[in-house]
Each structure stands twice: as C-alpha cells, then as structure tokens.
Amino acid sequence: MEQSILEPATLEETRDLVAEAVLDGKTLEIMGAGSKRGLGRPVRAERVLSTRRLEGVDLYEPAELVMSAGVGTPMATIQATLAERGQELAFEPADYGVIFDHEPGVQTIGGVFAANLSGPRRLKVGAARDHLLGVTCVTGRGEVIRAGGRVVKNVTGYDLCKLLAGSHGTLAVMTRVIFKVLPRAETSATLLVRGADEQRLLAALRLAMNSSFEVSGAALLPILAAGRSKVAMLRKPVRLQAALRLEGPPPSVAHRIDALQQLLAEDGGLGFERLDANDTATLWAEIRDLKLLSPALPLWRLSMPPSVAATLSEWIGQMSAEHLYDWSGGLVWLALKPAWAGEADLIRRALADHGGHATLIRAAYEVRERVPVFEPQPLALAALTRRVKESFDPKHILNPGRMYAEV
Amino acid sequence: MEMPALDRDSLAKRDRIVAALRAIVPGEGVIANVTEMRAYECDALSAYRTLPMAVVLPASVQQVSAILKLCNDEKIKVVPRGGGTSLSGGSLPLGDGIVLGMGKFNKILDVDFQNRCVVVQPGVTNLAITRAVEHEGFYYAPDPSSQIACSIGGNVAENSGGVHCLKYGLTTNNLLGVEMVLPDGSVIRLGGRHLDADGYDLLGVMTGSEGLLGVVTEVTVRILKKPDTARAVLMGFPSNETGGDTVASIIAAGIIPGGLEMMDRPAIHAAEDFCKAGYPRDVEALLICELDGTAQEVDHLIDIVAAIARQHHASFIKVSESEEERTRFWAGRKAAFPAVGRISPDYLCMDGTIPRSQLAHVLKRMEEMSAHYGLRVANVFHAGDGNLHPLILFDANVPDELRKAEDFGADILKLCVEVGGVLTGEHGVGVEKRDLMPSMFNENELAQQQRLKCAFDPVQILNPGKVFPKLHRCAELGRLHVQRGALPFPDLPRF
Ligand SMILES: Cc1cc2nc3c(=O)[nH]c(=O)nc-3n(C[C@H](O)[C@H](O)[C@H](O)COP(=O)(O)OP(=O)(O)OC[C@H]3O[C@@H](n4cnc5c(N)ncnc54)[C@H](O)[C@@H]3O)c2cc1C
C-alpha cells in the first residue's frame, strides 16, 4: 500500500504538504531517515513524509553552546561537527541501529528529539527534552509555528519544546531544532565493581549516585551482557559486574575514582577493576546503543524508581532471557523470549505498585499492533492526552495511532 | 495594564459561591471579608492590586477538586496562589474570581534518599526542601533568591531558577513528578520517582504554565549531593564589555561554573553599601564565578578562570579562602534587590534573556534608553545563561514615573527579543509582559498555545487575563482554516 515518499526540502514545502493532507483528509506517516519506524505502534497512513531533505547545520556557536539544524540532518554529521570543537550532545543520544537493523549514524537529529532518546548520562545531565531549546514545526492544522528560542532560560509562554520532544511525530512535523551543546569532558574512566548478586551491586550503584563524586553512568551488566562487550576486561565473568563512569579534568577523575572505590569497599565483599578512557568510551557506547543485548529478541524498556530494581530483580531474572540495568537501576532493559513479547500485562502489573512505566521497544509488527506499546493511561489522563493531540492535529492526520490507538 | 472587564454574572453569584465554598472547606478556610482579603490583594508586582471575591484555603486534594469543579460548573475564575512572590503578577487576584491559596499544603510527605528525591505538598517553601535533606549532605538545586518565601508549587508554575541553574538546571530539569487537579475536578499524576514521564511530556508543559493549566497538589523533585568544595572568585573589570567577554571566554573554554553572575556599577555600589560584601567600588562590572566539585578540580578551574579574567584586563581578582568568605561574596548579589530598594523609592525588575554574545551591545543600548527616559537602571544578571535583571529605579509618587518605567522596561524586553532572546527568563509573563507577547510570537503561535490551554481548561477558569494578550473562546480557536499551497507565509523562523 506504500506510495512514494514525500520529501519536502523547505519549511514552506513541508507546510504545503501537510496543509494538503489536512484538506484531503489523508493521513501522513512522519519519519526522518526511518531508522526507528519499528518503534511504537504500527502506523497505517495513506502517505509517508520524510524530513531527510530538511538537512544542514545552520547555526553553530560553540561559545554560546548552541546549535541549530534542519531535522533531517544525520546524527553522524551533527556529532562530527561538534567533535571538531570538542563538544557533544551531553544527553548521549542512543542509536538503535543495532536493534532495528540500520547503519549507525543514519538517524536524524529530528528523530532523536521526537523519540526523546537519551543515553546513560541521562541520570546526571537530563534527557533529550532538557536540551531542546527551540523548534520550528508544522502542526497538524497545517500551520507553521515556532516554539522556544535559542537561549536556555526562557519561560515565555508554554514550553512547547518539551511537549514536542517525545511526541513521536503525532503533534507536528518539526522542521528545525535548536539545541544546547556542551563541552566534552577532558577524560573519563570506569570503575568496575564485581559482586555476588544483583541486590548488592544495585545497592552499590545507588550508594555511588548518592556520593558527591559526580558519577555520569551507572549500569549493572549481567554475565551474558558483559560477555558481549568488546572490552576484554568485562568478558572474564567470574562474578556479576557493575560499571560506574567518571568524567572531567584528569586530576579530578583520578581523585574521584580512588575515593569512589574506597567508599564502596567499606562494605567488603566487592572486587574492583578500572577501565581507561578508551575502554570507557567503548563500553558506554555499547550500553547506550543496546549492543550488549541480543539483537534478535523482543525488547522492553522499563523506567522505575532505582530502588525498585532491587525489589524486582529476582522477577526480572526469571522473566527475561537477557537483561541489563542502566541509570543506577532506574532503567531496565528486558530481552524476552519471542513467545513472551506480548506479555504486557504481566510486566506492567509488576511495576504497578511501584510507579514507573514500560515501553515495548522492539517486537514483531503483529505484536505491536496487538499490545499497547506505550504505557496505557488512566482515564482522565488519556482524555487529556487526546485533547492535547487534537489541539495540534484535530483531524488525526499525523502518525495516527503511533503512540496510542486513539492518538 | 488593562484586565478583562468584570463579569457581572460572577459578581452577582458571589454570596452563593461563598456559601458553596464554605460547604467544601469548613471553618476559617474561606475568607470573604475585605480586611482579611487585603493580605492577598497583590503579589510581588505590587504596583497592581485587586481584591478577589473570596479567598479559599483548601487542605486536601478532595477539597481542591471540589472547588475547581464548582468553579468550572459556575464559570467562576480561579487564581491559584503559593507564596505570592511572583514578580509578574501571576498570582494577582481577579475582581470577579476567587483566590485558591495553597498555604495549607505545607507538609513534606517523603524524603527518599534511595531514589534521590523528595515528595512534598506544593505550599512547602523552596528552602524547606533543602532544609529537610541537608543533614545527609543533600540539597535541592534551583535556588531563587526568594527561596525562604516562595513555594515549590509556585516554582513549578513559574519554572523558577536561581544562581545555580547554569550548571544544575531550572525547576523543569529537577522536577520528577506532580499530582494535579484539572479544572473539571479530575486528579491526574504526571511522572513520579522515576525518570522521564510516559506519554506526552505534560510535566514539561505544566512547568512554567503560570497557574493556567491546573492546580498542583503534590510535587516530587530530585535532590543532589552537595559538592565537596565550592569556591567563588570575584573579578572586577574596567567595562561591561570586558566583563561580558570574560563570561563568554569562560564558557568557551569548556567550563560550566556552578554560578556565574554579573553586576554593573550602580548595582555593585548599592550592594556594597547595603551589606559590605567586599566588592570593589572602582570597577564598572563585577563577576562572581563559583566553581564546585572536588578540591582538585576546583583549584584547577579557578586558575583557568583567573587567567581568563587577566587576559580581559580584570583590575580586581579575589578567590574565597573560606566558606564564610564565599557566602559573603554571594550575600551582596543575593541582596541586590533590597539593596537597590534602599537607593530608590520604587523599582521595576525586568527579566529578559539574550544570547551571551549580545551582552555588551544590550547594556550599551540600555544606557542610552536610561538617558532617554531620565530613569536610572542597575543591572544584576545571571551572566552565564544570558538572563538579565535590569532594575529600573523610579518614584511612584512622581506623576507619570511608573508609566515611564514600564515603557522603559518594555523597550528593554523588545530589545532582548530583537537580538535573538526572549521576554522572560524565569519570572514569567503574568500580567506584566502579557501585552508584549506579540513581539515574540505571531498570531498562529499565540493561538496554538491557547489551544493547548483549552485542552486543559476548556472553560478557561484558571488565571484568565494572564500570559495571553487576547482571550479567545476555545470553540473559536478550534476552527480549522487551512488553505491549499501558496499561503502568504507567516513570519519565517527567526532562528
Ligand atoms: C525578592 C524576590 C526575589 C526573587 N528571585 C527570584 C529568582 O532568583 N529566580 C526566580 O526564578 N524567581 C525569583 N523570584 C520570583 C518568584 O519568587 C518566583 O516566581 C516563585 O516561584 C513564585 O513562587 P510563589 O510560591 O510565591 O508563587 P505565587 O506568586 O503565589 O504564584 C506564582 C504563579 O504560580 C501559580 N501557582 C502557585 N501555586 C500553584 C499551584 N499549587 N498550582 C498551580 N499553580 C500555582 C500562581 O497562579 C501564579 O501564576 C523572586 C521574587 C522576589 C520577590
């Protein structure tokens, strides 16, 4: 049923195409490079609109820590441009190329913000949404609007940037984004912590996060996950391992890694190793891009209060074929046996008493069509969500059904 | 500032509404006599005062829900109120509406160190959160100067910041969840103790929504461990330009200080006279730069910052050698508003944000405007993130000076927008900047924001007359006007 893909090259063309779709009552699937088309509920739209030709960095002021780019700009271009000036996107956007079978770096900056994708450093510096400063977009009413600006401190009117980040193209087609960039740390190191059981290691992660040592990554890597790493040190799986990342000026990192080890050693029973900056970069990219989990199995992503991870760890172990904890336990990845992919109720019931939510990140088309991919909402919230959707896209033209059947 | 005409129907219903409110909140929770209502007639933008029809002080979510439902059904306007410290008229009452004071929601519900968060009721003050966790070495990062008086609910509504938000973010970056009541009385939860709320980021939308979308009844914020060490450097410069360039160079060197503040000559003198912070008087601009982290890191960065300042001809550099000295350096800055209050009978505090590179240009233009209007201006300024606080000095007893001061302020804010900045960085639009909104947003943009308001508040009972210059009925906003191709393009993006 798929026709050719609409590829507007300017804001005006984008607006005209959306306006036409609104007038004709034709639905549009919105995508960037299409690298995350498999994420979310399947969209059955009459036309496909790709933003990939809305491309190019049009403003970069390193001293102002700000960049503006067309949403179709590939992440590889953004990252290379930033790297030349020693800067980066601090929220470490994940690249799901591995799980969705795409080349790394092809995903667009617009897609990263539309899906609010953040990596391990999210627990220290915030999510993608915290770094989005300004947006130009075409709403589902076929109107061009701008939101935000190019400055960080801005409370003028509602914060529509936050709303658009993570809206998966269901409210408006973003055409240009302005975002905050930050200096890359001078160096980094990882403290590997080895222990007998998950409970102990999760407690160590929380202790580390509660220290003043500015930990910028806190993950627990079960033996299977560690075995997939390219970092040799991790593949000697005598015991379970947790990883803590420290970043900053060299003297500071050196001091903090010693102090952190000392703090965690007080408890006894834990072993320690260290990774240098190179291995640190490799490992955290693997964690970020989900390279330590099976590329084939269905994947659930659970966000929960970190202490709940310990409460649920036994259940997590039984439930999953493979798993991994990031964000100090606040983010749990469950890779399930295919037959279990659709067990949404089971998963969500386990979380229900503790707060948090579960998203089905990767599963077969039929499964995503059948089970709620995003956490179902209580009645009043679902009704509000629908009204918000309709305030931007009254005829449900944009990515219909991507997030919820009725949105 | 013109407010919408009073609604006669609402006024006529007053007695019945008061009685209905009393049925929901018994006893002293409903205030309807003029003397007692005086305490609520204004916020910190005290040039504007209005008595509401009544003040209601609920103590439970059920009561808030019942009050909103009543007002929604009866079409009675509601102004939520926390500490009443808004500088933009956000909590200014409406003559044909009620004030919903959240003062009784003053409990800290849970301190959860395991998950590094605190759950509080919205009437708890900003500082009380830090007080509740500091025994374990934690703090709540956003620290508005009003932190002893302002409520966390107000902080959420205004997305408040403080001197530490350059490194640690504004309210929006430190907020994990809220419970809130919609105008129809339904209670919803957004987020919780986990990161990243599911669904649309309505938590992000609520933050900074100025009491127009819902009433927050519970707040969960993230807390942080205090850094091992913090030291501040005072740096004096011969001109605003050299001070501004130093700010840009520090950031460009890859350093994100814990705080980076600037004051101009009038502000330096006022602050020094007021609290003897040890500021040099013979400089045109003063920077306070705080670095925090481990001792090694702080020492390392202080050397770099001092070297940058010297390159930019700093005539004065002093590093704090003790915690007492560091606090003293900040005392002058934090007391800048009251200090300026002593040298002028009245002042208006503006709040625009600009790209840092425009600092010197904007300060120069402001001097010209100051001469034009014949009013003095003192500048304190969150330099690190380009957030200006020009204080316009005037005397309300001199005929026409308030109007002149307001015009001066409006000119400053328009200038901010002109150079790529925005009307307000942290104080909110309220009534104060309402009529300037069209200088930043075109009609489509304002209409879209109001449609979002309609999604939350279709009857528009919450804080109408604030933020948006023109009220439109939701039905009217909802109509589609789409044309095929070749529309006259609305203003093209500025950025
Ligand atoms: C001396 C002084 C210094 C200041 N310094 C700073 C500063 O450094 N940084 C900064 O950002 N601000 C500063 N402010 C401004 C002010 O303190 C903040 O905007 C603060 O967040 C307001 O909180 P409040 O509790 O007083 O809110 P109020 O003034 O009572 O209300 C503010 C807005 O919030 C809404 N509101 C209040 N509670 C709720 C609720 N529970 N649910 C929904 N809406 C609600 C109101 O309707 C209103 O629109 C300063 C003010 C003063 C007077």
Atom of ligand 1 nearest to the CA of B157: 34
Which pLDDT value is given to residue A237? 66
Q: Is the minimum CB–CB distance between B173 and chain A shorter than 8 Å?
A: yes
Query: Is B448's CB within 8 Å of A163's CB?
Result: no
State the average pLDDT over residues A105-115. Answer: 96
- Parse chain B into domains and list their residue ranges: 8-101, 108-225, 229-338, 344-437, 443-495
- The reply to whether CATH 3.30.70.3450 applies to domain B229-338 is yes
The token pair at B365 is: 């233009």
pLDDT at B490 over 60: no
Say if residues B15 and B60 touch (Cβ distance below 8 Å): no
Q: What is the pLDDT of residue A59?
A: 96
Q: How far apart are CA B193 and CA A357, in angstroms?
A: 11
| CB-based contact B448 A252, cutoff 8 Å | no
Structure tokens at B371: 């001469």
Domain A299-370's class?
alpha beta
> If you average pLDDT over every residue of chain B, what do you get?
94
- For residue A1, name the pLDDT band (cuts at 50, 70, 90): very low
Cβ pair A222, A199 in contact under 8 A: no
What is the architecture, at CATH level 2, of domain A1-184+377-407?
2-Layer Sandwich (3.30)
Is the beta carbon of B101 within 6 A of some atom in ligand 1? no
Residue A25 CA, chain-centre distance (Å), reads 32
Atom of ligand 1 nearest to the CA of B125: 25
**Closest by Cβ to A151, choosing from B169, B354, B445:** B354
Q: Is B61 helix (H, G, I), strand (E, B) or coil?
A: helix
ipTM: 0.97
> In angstroms, what is the span from residue B95 Cα to ligand 1's centroid?
21
Residue A16 pLDDT greater than 70, yes or no? yes
Q: Name which of A71, A158, A258, A387 to mutate to probe chain B: the one with the most chain B Cβ atoms within 10 A of its Cβ.
A: A158
pLDDT of residue B486: 52
Indicate the residue type of B136.
E
Is there an atom of ligand 1 within 6 Å of B58 CB?
no
Same fold across A1-184+377-407 and A299-370: no
pLDDT category of residue B485 using cuts at 50, 70 and 90: low
Q: Cα B165 to the chain's mean position, in Å? A: 12
Q: Is the pLDDT of residue B487 over 50?
A: no
Pick the range with the lowest mean pLDDT from A43-52, A338-347, B152-161, B208-217.
A338-347
Predicted pLDDT at B492: 38
- B483 inside 8 A of chain A by CB: yes
At B468 the three-state DSSP class reads coil
Cβ atoms A391, A158 nearer than 8 A: no
Q: Are B73 and B66 in contact (CB under 8 A)?
A: no
Residue pairs spanning A and B at CB distance below 8 A: 294
CATH code linked to domain B8-101: 3.30.43.10
Question: Chain B residues with CB inside 8 Å of A166's CB?
Answer: 196, 200-201
A144·B490 Cβ contact <8 A: yes
Quick: pLDDT tens for A188-244: 999 999 998 999 999 999 999 999 999 999 999 999 999 999 999 999 867 899 999
CATH number for domain B108-225, candidates 3.90.650.10, 2.30.30.20, 3.30.420.10, 3.30.465.10: 3.30.465.10
A372: three-class secondary structure by DSSP: coil
Give the model confidence (pLDDT) of B16-63 as tens digits.
999 999 999 999 999 999 999 999 999 999 889 999 999 999 999 999
DSSP state of A128: G
Domain spans of chain A, in order of start:
1-184+377-407, 187-288, 299-370
- Which chain B residue lies closest to A210 (C-alpha atoms)? B225
Reported residue count of chain A is: 407
* B180-197 confidence digits (pLDDT tens): 999 999 999 999 999 998
Quote the crossing angle between the two packed helices B401-418 and B359-373, to the nearest 10°. Answer: 160
The domain defined by A187-288 folds into: Alpha-Beta Plaits (3.30.70)
A101 alpha-carbon distance from chain centroid: 17
Distance B151 CA to ligand 1 centre (A): 7
Nearest CA in chain A to B195: A303
Q: What is the pTM of this model?
A: 0.96
Residues 276-315 of B with CB under 8 A from A: 293-294, 296-297, 300-301
Just give the CATH number of B344-437. Answer: 3.30.70.2740
CATH fold match for the domains B229-338 and B344-437: yes
- Residues B207-237: pLDDT tens digits? 999 999 999 999 999 999 999 999 999 999 9
For B369-385, how does the pLDDT look when each residue is reduced to its tens digit (9 = 90+)? 999 999 999 999 899 99
Q: Decide: helix, strand or coil at residue A236.
A: coil
Q: Give the pLDDT of residue A3.
A: 62
**Which residue bears the tokens 């994420």?**
A39
The verdict on the CB of residue B43 being under 6 Å from ligand 1 is yes
Facing residues of B100 across strands?
B56, B80
Tell me, in angstroms, the distance from the centre of ligand 1 to residue B147's CA. Answer: 9
B129 pLDDT tier (thresholds 50, 70, 90): very high
The beta-carbon neighbor of B296 closest among A64, A252, A392 is: A252
Q: What integer pLDDT is reported at residue A150 of this predicted model?
A: 94
**What local confidence, expressed as pLDDT, does residue B357 receive?**
87
For A258, other C-beta atoms within 10 Å of its C-beta total 13
Cα separation, A295 vs A182, whole angstroms: 31
Q: Residue A66: which of A53, A85, A51, A52 has the closest Cα?
A: A85
Residue of chain B nearest A184, judged by CA positions: B254
Give CA–CA dist B411/B366, Å, rounded.
9
The reply to whether B149 touches chain A by the CB within 8 Å rule is no
